[in-house]
Amino acid sequence: MAPLPRATSATERSSTARRRIQEYQVTERLIVIGGDAAGMSAASQARRLKGPDELEILAFERGRFTSYAACGIPYWIGGLIGERDELVARAPEVFREKQSIDVRTGHEVVGIDTGARTVTVRDLAAGEEAEHAYDQLLVATGATPLRPPVPGIDADGVFGVQTLEHGQKVLDALADRDPQRAVVIGAGYIGIEMAEAMLLRGLEVHVVEMADQPMSTLDPEMGDLVADAMRRMGMHLHLGVAVEGIATGEDEWIRGVVTADGTLEADIAVLGTGTRPFSDLAADAEIPIGPSRGIVTDRRQRTPVDGGWAAGDCAETFHRVSRSPVSIALGTIANKQGRIAGLNLGGSYSAFPGVLGTAVTKVCEMEIARTGLGETAAQAAGFEVVAETIKGTTRAHYYPDATPITIKTVAERGTGRLLGAQIVGREGAAKRIDVFATALWNEMTVDDLLNVDLSYAPPFSPVWDPILIAARKVDGAVRAAGL
């Protein structure tokens, strides 16, 4: 009779199981929805920490391009940037070949099942759908242009400019139809940048804005400076005017923008009415959405749903000054949030510290910048504020090409804590906002800022830089308010 097999101990069985797990280890799968700033920053960062044998990364992008500079689209349309591909930081094949990230363009995720941990993906070219399982899911669907709910808003010749595909359609229309008159609907960042692009293309430009000023994120007196500059450049502003519809011809192409003040003739129209988080896909999957309409995340970019993450324009974050939940569509924020998500997905630890809403733009020669809270926003957040505005020059007044700069500074009454700043000026003005942003990030008072050792030489600033003059003036107002 053959001997009975020897009984194995619990320690031996555990050791055998560990060896089998090591030999047949199952690779974890990360699915990324969205192939631009946040999504591909996260994928790249996670790949740096985990190789393909540990982490499979599958990214779906419904468009044709990945990792491109959407902020550069107005300048491409305006002719300041020659080729579309100059805006592409990294093509899909680079991710595939150099980072083993399986990027599939032309594939739209149309459904998420968080219980089964699957996504349903439509191949837009083939028209077929397939399910893909995931262990971790990053939603980075970005933002979508706001379209006024008026008749005809989806007519041919009315363009949003959120993606490279959108930008190409605008350029095709300019080439094919030779328009003479453009109407820009909305005067936010994209609106004024597209107004400049149309002006550079030689079109007559009309800007329709429901608010009483362009750039509603600025306080009224600063917005008025922007309006005056746009008029001097030859743009026609229609402020405090609502759009009521789009008039079209027999070919269904736009012929005019109908407003409360009458119809403006138009050969082409561009939407500059802002964006909202494209969170519909997440909402349909019952991933929580916050008051800003962005996807709710914690500091690590995790959603409340197990295995779910979100980053970029579709995600909600918090404002470091107001402490309120916000969604701000900026490439800087999207890239940083993507990096944070990628670090955590790769097994490291990192937390996103919030935002200030720092932003700059320009319209022709006029530079515009802001950070933190304006006077109106600070009051709405519950602060008692002191605000002052100064006018100066970007260089010593006697140095050639010194240009005007206007700075508005907002501080908390009593403490003197800096709450925000806004700048409107010409060359050399806008990037000064970074000094304010740094001070704001570190919760400095205006007295602290007044004594910062900034550089000086006549070609770059007066001996008292406009930043210091602004801090000195608001500091004096804070002291006077405390008497």
pLDDT tens per residue across span 147-194 = 899 999 999 999 999 899 999 999 999 999 999 999 999 999 999 999
* Structure tokens given for 349: 């630890």
Using an 8 Å Cβ cutoff, are 229 and 222 in contact? no
Q: Running DSSP on this structure, what letter comes out for residue 15?
A: H
The model's confidence at residue 145, banded by pLDDT at 50, 70 and 90, is: confident
pLDDT tens per residue across span 271-308 = 999 899 999 999 999 999 999 999 999 999 999 999 99
Q: Kindly give the interhelix angle for 37-49 and 331-345, rounded to the nearest 10 degrees.
A: 30
Residue 18 has pLDDT above 60, yes or no: no
Q: Could you list the active site residues?
A: 71
How far is C-alpha 297 from the chain's CA centre? 17
Per-residue confidence (pLDDT) for residue 323, from 0 to 100: 95
Judged by DSSP in three states, 160 sits in: coil
Residue 12 has pLDDT above 60, yes or no: no
Per-residue confidence (pLDDT) for residue 1, from 0 to 100: 47
Per-residue confidence (pLDDT) for residue 22, from 0 to 100: 46
* Structure tokens given for 280: 């519909």
The model's confidence at residue 438, banded by pLDDT at 50, 70 and 90, is: very high
Residue 6 has pLDDT above 80, yes or no: no
Angle at 218 between CA 366 and CA 220, to 5 degrees: 100
Residue 8 has pLDDT above 70, yes or no: no
Given phi > 0 = left and psi -120 to 50 = alpha, else beta, which region is 382?
left
* Structure tokens given for 454: 């900034």
The model's confidence at residue 20, banded by pLDDT at 50, 70 and 90, is: very low
Residue 483 has pLDDT above 90, yes or no: no
Percent of the chain at pLDDT > 90 equals 92
pLDDT tens per residue across span 64-117 = 999 999 999 999 999 999 999 999 999 999 999 999 999 999 999 999 999 999
* Residue 26 backbone phi and psi in degrees, to 5: -85, 125
Nearest to 468 by CA among 414, 415, 405, 426: 405
How far is C-alpha 126 from the chain's CA centre? 32
Cross-strand bridge partners of residue 243: 259
Q: What is the largest CA-CA distance in the chain?
A: 110
* Structure tokens given for 386: 């002191």
Q: What is the mean pLDDT of residues 353-365?
A: 95
Nearest to 114 by CA among 270, 238, 283: 283
Using an 8 Å Cβ cutoff, are 138 and 345 in contact? yes
Nearest to 296 by CA among 314, 284, 278, 280: 314
Element of type H or E holding 61 = strand 55-61
Nearest to 170 by CA among 278, 271, 61: 271
Residue 314 has pLDDT above 70, yes or no: yes
The model's confidence at residue 482, banded by pLDDT at 50, 70 and 90, is: confident
Q: Which residue has the tokens 């995720």?
A: 109
Residue 21 has pLDDT above 50, yes or no: no
Strand 317-318 versus strand 325-326 pairing type: antiparallel
Q: What is the mean pLDDT of residues 337-357?
A: 98
Q: What is the mean pLDDT of residues 115-143?
A: 97
- Rg (the chain; Cα; Å): 26
Per-residue confidence (pLDDT) for residue 474, from 0 to 100: 97
Residue 15 has pLDDT above 80, yes or no: no
CA distance 178 to 79: 15
Q: Using CA of residue 124, residue 125, residue 129, residue 133, what is the dihedral sign? A: negative
Average pLDDT in the chain: 94
Residue 17 has pLDDT above 80, yes or no: no
Mind listing the domains of the chain with CATH numbers?
Answer: 26-144+276-345 (3.50.50.60), 147-273 (3.50.50.60), 365-481 (3.30.390.30)
CA distance 258 to 147: 15
CA distances to 101, 450, 476 from 445, rounded to whole Å, are 46, 9, 12
Element of type H or E holding 368 = strand 366-372
